[in-house]
């Protein structure tokens, strides 16, 4: 309910008429959108204190030109899209989320897309809450801050052996391309090591459900996961 | 990559300095010959060359200039891929990895002299030999069929012109005609392959020739992912496919390629297109090298070395290794273990415990993909299964579509892992 109220407030403070119109026609159900955001959470944070992870944080995304954070390294494709004038208005976001690689050729966002328009609009209605002025961000907000799995600091502190990682990685590159390209299986190259380690443990602990990855991660020891994170993290 | 004399010498010095006394020290650069540029051989050659960075001389012997993957060749038959999309060249293995790619047949192996002789007349010396020649067919396996019948009744179990021929014959079937498949006995290349093919043929016929019939004569009582395929056939191709397992006489088959007839348990049927997939054995060169027992080449799972000659590693379909199915994924996985073992033996690089895995996707209809997979480890006795999974019947359309999309991702992954 708090979310619905926030949306009302947002509407009230909106100025540009064009945007108000767009909002009125395009935006959907933010509560459902909050659930949809699970699909983005593994890579993006949103809400108070959100930081860059695999992807940049998404606070204030609406009406920002693409690839604007200096402290995030985007793909060449995303910089090219910015040059070409891509702005994250509702239509731009919707098209990008529908088919990232078609909208921004060469993007390193490995997400296969949300085909249903309703899903996209609900999601955007939710993301919309975290745009505009900070006072409009509801207090009890943080969504993506919640870590997928709680790992002990010891596990996160393990320094991986990249040489071992290189061997272990040979098992992964049958599916995950070492170029980082996405053709149906996500790219796993150049991730921050913590993110990589958390994702692998999430599969191993069956907090993420995907039978292939649960099986692959299931037999890796903590130091092996660290070795893989070190190796793939340095690949470019 | 070309090596000038200086890097060559430096590489040699690095080898000499490494601890675990490689066997060919002082004899110049160690030489690896790989026979067969498929899922196993191309991967092994690439990984050895990539890891050794010029310290090992790698030669790949493969007669064809273009490798057509068997994987996804059924999707070509079903109309989901064109033939060009399953064709790959060896260009990058030569230009980016410095592999000496020789387009020729290996016709003999002298295990004492450590040499491979080629049909073109050359002889190649090796310190380690890798054989990944895939499969050949067992003579007389299907009464009435031999390799000279392959143009009338294609096997299409080595991809390329055979696959194109089979598809053309299916497309040329008269309205309401009959397509027959003679399925192979275990063990054979790609356990779900024949049934994915039946699905793709049904998909093609449903569009072009919806009253056509499909008969499958199978020497086995059950097959890989059977429940998933049967569910899919009932959902998408109801009444079109008649699968006759060994319990119903599917093992008593005889064909006549001139008459285009198939006899199943004494009942003769006139057919319009016929796909005969005979029983299989290791590619002939294994037999010629004297490293087979029965139809296959036994190997040690820790290193993929032949149990008969430790200077030879055998990969992929040709091997008898234990629990792994004969698949491109398996061959690729085994190649990496062999590459590590070969580099370890020849240059003293680090060797880690062998790990293997496999996943086989199959497409049943548009956006209806299923998969089965497992992980494996080496024991002294065999490559043993550790863990596995399989798609379930009754899965949502969304999940099946995602599974298909993953298989497309996998195809891009494995082919770039093989060919660079
Ligand atoms: C219809 C079909 C569908 C399939 N689908 C899948 C799938 O979805 N997923 C999967 O993982 N696997 C699949 N497979 C199985 C996969 O194709 C094989 O398991 C894999 O190719 C085996 O690799 P290999 O290296 O042993 O042999 P191959 O890939 O067959 O390579 C052998 C190579 O050796 C060469 N050669 C043979 N003899 C000699 C010689 N004397 N001298 C020089 N060169 C020689 C041949 O020309 C060939 O290029 C499928 C197979 C079929 C038939």
Same domain, B287 and B243: no
Residue pair A112/B405 in contact (Cβ under 8 Å)? The answer is yes
Whether residues B284 and B414 share a domain: the answer is yes
Q: What pLDDT, on the 0 to 100 scale, is given for residue A140? A: 33
- What's the pLDDT score for residue B27? 58
φ/ψ of residue B57, rounded to 5 = -90, 115
Give the span between the Cα atoms of B178 and B48, in whole angstroms. Answer: 48
Residues in chain B within 8 Å Cβ distance of A178: 416-417
Rounding to the nearest 10 degrees, give the CA dihedral for residues A89, A93, A94, A99. 150
Alpha-carbon distance B73 to B71, whole Å? Answer: 5
Q: Widest CA span of chain A, in angstroms?
A: 58
Is B101 in the same domain as B158?
no
pLDDT (mean) for A202-221: 94
The residue-averaged pLDDT of B205-234 equals: 97
Among A90-99, A179-188, B134-143, the range with the most confident prediction by mean pLDDT is B134-143
Are B336 and B271 found together in one domain? no
B62 in contact with ligand 1, CB cutoff 6 A: yes
- Does the beta carbon of B12 lie inside 6 Å of ligand 1? no
Cα atoms found within 13 Å of the Cα of residue B87, Cβ hemisphere only: 10
Do B290 and B413 share a domain, yes or no?
yes
* Boundary residue ending a domain (B259, B276, B293): B276
CATH number, domain of B9, equals 3.50.50.60
**Measured from the CA of B407, which atom of ligand 1 is nearest?**
8
Partners of residue B241 on adjacent β-strands: B214
Q: Is the CB of residue B85 less than 8 Å away from at least one CB of chain A?
A: no
Alpha-carbon distance of B178 to B275, in angstroms, equals 11
CA pseudo-torsion sign A229, A234, B2, B8: negative
Cα B21 to middle of ligand 1, angstroms: 35
pLDDT of A5 = 39
**Separation between Cα atoms, residue B246 and residue B239, nearest integer Å:** 20
Whether B133 lines ligand 1, by a CB cut-off of 6 Å, is yes
* Residue B21, pLDDT above cutoff 60: no
Position A16 pLDDT exceeds 50: no
Q: Find out whether the beta carbon of B40 lies less than 6 Å from any atom of ligand 1.
A: yes
B41 and B172 share a domain?
Answer: no
Domain region containing B56: 5-19+28-136+280-419
Final residue in a domain of this structure, among B217, B244, B276? B276
The Cα B199–Cα B380 span in angstroms is 39
Number of separate domains in chain B: 2
pLDDT at B255: 98
Structure confidence by residue, pLDDT tens digits, A146-170: 457 889 999 999 999 999 999 999 9
> Which among A167, A171, A178 is the nearest to B357, CB-wise?
A171
Q: In the prediction, which pLDDT does A21 show? A: 37
ipTM of the complex: 0.89
Q: Which residues of B touch A170 (CB under 8 A)?
A: 47, 336
User: Do B123 and B181 sit in the same domain of this protein?
Assistant: no
CA quadruple A47, A53, A54, A55: dihedral sign: positive
| In the predicted structure, residue B1 carries a pLDDT above the cut 70 | no
pLDDT, residue A155, reads 95
User: How far is it, in rounded angstroms, from Cα B17 to Cα B416?
Assistant: 33
Could you tell me if the CB of B67 is within 6 A of ligand 1?
yes
Complete domains list, chain A, with CATH: 2-24+135-234 (1.10.760.10), 30-128 (1.10.760.10)
- Of B235, B250, B276, which marks where a domain is finished? B276
Q: Please write down the long-range contacts of B147-151, taking CB distance under 8 Å and 24 or more positions apart.
A: B149/B255, B149/B257, B149/B276
Range scoring the smallest mean pLDDT among A20-29, A88-97, A122-131: A20-29
- Distance (Å) from the C-alpha of residue A183 to the closest C-alpha of chain B? 4
What is the reported pLDDT for B284? 98
Do B132 and B146 have their domain in common?
no
Q: Tell me the whole-structure pTM to 2 decimals.
A: 0.82
Strand pairing class (B57-61; B253-256): unpaired
Of B72, B39, B75, nearest to B327 (Cα)?
A: B39
pLDDT value of residue B386: 96
Distance CA A12, CA A19 (A): 12
Pocket test for ligand 1, best of B69, B187, B190 (most atoms within 8 A of CB): B190
- The answer on B267 and B249 residing in a single domain is yes
Contact B40, B316 (CB under 8 A): yes
pLDDT at A148: 75
Residue with the bigger pLDDT between A7 and B207: it is B207
What's chain B's average pLDDT?
Answer: 94
pLDDT-derived band at A138, boundaries 50, 70, 90? very low
| Predicted pLDDT at A20 | 38
Which secondary structure element, helix H or strand E, spans residue B78, and what is its range? helix B73-78
Per-residue pLDDT tens for B283-303? 999 999 999 999 999 999 999
Nearest CA in chain A to B339: A167
Closest CA to A199 of A158, A174, A229: A229
Asked if the bond preceding B61 is cis, omega within 30° of 0, the reply is no
> Could you tell me if B32 and B24 are in contact, meaning their C-beta atoms sit under 8 angstroms apart?
no
State the Cα–Cα distance between residues B321 and B338, nearest whole angstrom: 13
The rounded Å distance from CA B70 to ligand 1 centre is 6
Do B307 and B358 belong together in one domain? yes
Instruction: With a cut of 90, say whether residue B341 has pLDDT above it.
Output: yes
| B413 and B285, same domain (yes or no) | yes
Asked if residue B324 and residue B249 are part of one domain, the reply reads no
CA-proximal residue: ligand 1, atom 8 (nearest): B71
């Amino acid at each position: 309910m708090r979310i619905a109220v926030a949306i009302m407030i947002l509407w009230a403070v909106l100025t540009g008429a064009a945007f108000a119109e767009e909002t009125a026609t395009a935006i959907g159900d933010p509560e459902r959108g909050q659930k949809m955001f699970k699909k983005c959470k593994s890579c993006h944070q949103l809400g108070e204190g959100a930081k860059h992870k695999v992807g940049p944080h998404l606070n204030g995304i609406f009406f920002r030109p693409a690839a604007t954070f200096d402290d995030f390294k985007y793909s060449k494709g995303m910089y090219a899209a910015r040059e070409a004038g891509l702005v994250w208005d509702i239509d731009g976001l919707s098209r990008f989320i529908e088919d990232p690689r078609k909208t921004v050729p060469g993007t390193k966002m490995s997400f296969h897309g949300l085909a249903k328009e309703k899903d996209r609009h609900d999601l955007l209605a939710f993301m919309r809450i975290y745009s505009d002025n900070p006072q409009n961000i509801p207090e009890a907000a943080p969504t993506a801050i919640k870590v997928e799995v709680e790992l002990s600091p010891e596990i996160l502190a393990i320094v991986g052996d990249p040489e071992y990682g290189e061997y272990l990685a040979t098992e992964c590159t049958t599916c995950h391309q070492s170029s980082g390209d996405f053709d149906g299986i996500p790219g796993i190259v150049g991730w921050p090591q913590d993110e990589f380690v958390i994702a692998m443990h999430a599969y191993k602990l069956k907090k993420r459900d995907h039978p292939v990855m649960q099986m692959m991660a299931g037999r890796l020891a903590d130091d092996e996961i660290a070795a893989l994170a070190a190796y793939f993290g340095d690949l470019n | 990559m070309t090596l000038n004399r200086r890097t060559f010498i430096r590489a040699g010095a690095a080898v000499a300095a490494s601890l675990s006394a490689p066997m060919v020290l002082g004899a110049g650069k160690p030489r690896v010959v790989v026979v067969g540029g498929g899922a196993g051989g191309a991967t092994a050659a690439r990984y050895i060359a990539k890891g050794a960075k010029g310290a090992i001389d790698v030669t790949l012997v493969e007669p064809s200039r273009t490798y057509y993957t068997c994987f996804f060749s059924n999707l070509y038959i079903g109309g989901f891929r064109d033939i060009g999309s399953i064709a790959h060249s060896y260009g990058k293995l030569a230009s980016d990895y410095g592999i000496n790619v020789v387009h020729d047949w290996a016709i003999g192996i002298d295990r004492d002299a450590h040499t491979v002789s080629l049909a073109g007349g050359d002889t190649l010396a090796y310190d380690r030999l890798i054989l990944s020649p895939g499969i050949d067919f067992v003579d007389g396996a299907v009464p009435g069929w031999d390799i000279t019948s392959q143009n009338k009744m294609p096997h299409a179990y080595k991809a390329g012109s055979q696959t194109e021929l089979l598809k053309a014959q299916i497309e040329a079937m008269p309205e309401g005609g009959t397509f027959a498949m003679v399925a192979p006995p275990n063990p054979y290349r790609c356990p779900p392959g024949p049934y994915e093919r039946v699905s793709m043929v049904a998909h093609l016929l449903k569009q072009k020739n919806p009253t056509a019939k499909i008969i499958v004569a199978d020497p086995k009582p059950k097959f890989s992912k059977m429940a998933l395929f049967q569910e899919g056939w009932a959902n998408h191709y109801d009444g079109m496919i008649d699968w006759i397992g060994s319990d119903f006489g599917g093992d008593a088959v005889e064909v006549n390629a001139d008459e285009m007839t198939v006899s199943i348990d004494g009942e003769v049927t006139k057919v319009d297109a016929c796909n005969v997939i005979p029983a299989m054995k290791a590619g002939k060169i294994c037999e010629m090298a004297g490293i087979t027992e029965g139809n296959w080449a036994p190997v040690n799972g820790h290193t993929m070395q032949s149990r008969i000659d430790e200077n030879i590693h055998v990969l992929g379909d040709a091997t008898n290794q234990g629990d792994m199915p004969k698949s491109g994924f398996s061959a690729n996985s085994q190649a990496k273990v062999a590459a590590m073992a070969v580099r370890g033996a020849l240059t003293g690089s680090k060797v880690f415990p062998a790990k293997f895995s496999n996943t086989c996707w199959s497409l049943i209809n548009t956006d209806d993909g299923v998969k089965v997979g497992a992980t494996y480890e080496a024991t002294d006795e065999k490559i043993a299964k550790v863990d596995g999974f399989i798609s379930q019947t009754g899965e949502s359309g969304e999940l099946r579509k995602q599974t298909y999309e993953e298989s497309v991702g996998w195809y891009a992954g494995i082919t770039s892992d093989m060919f660079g």
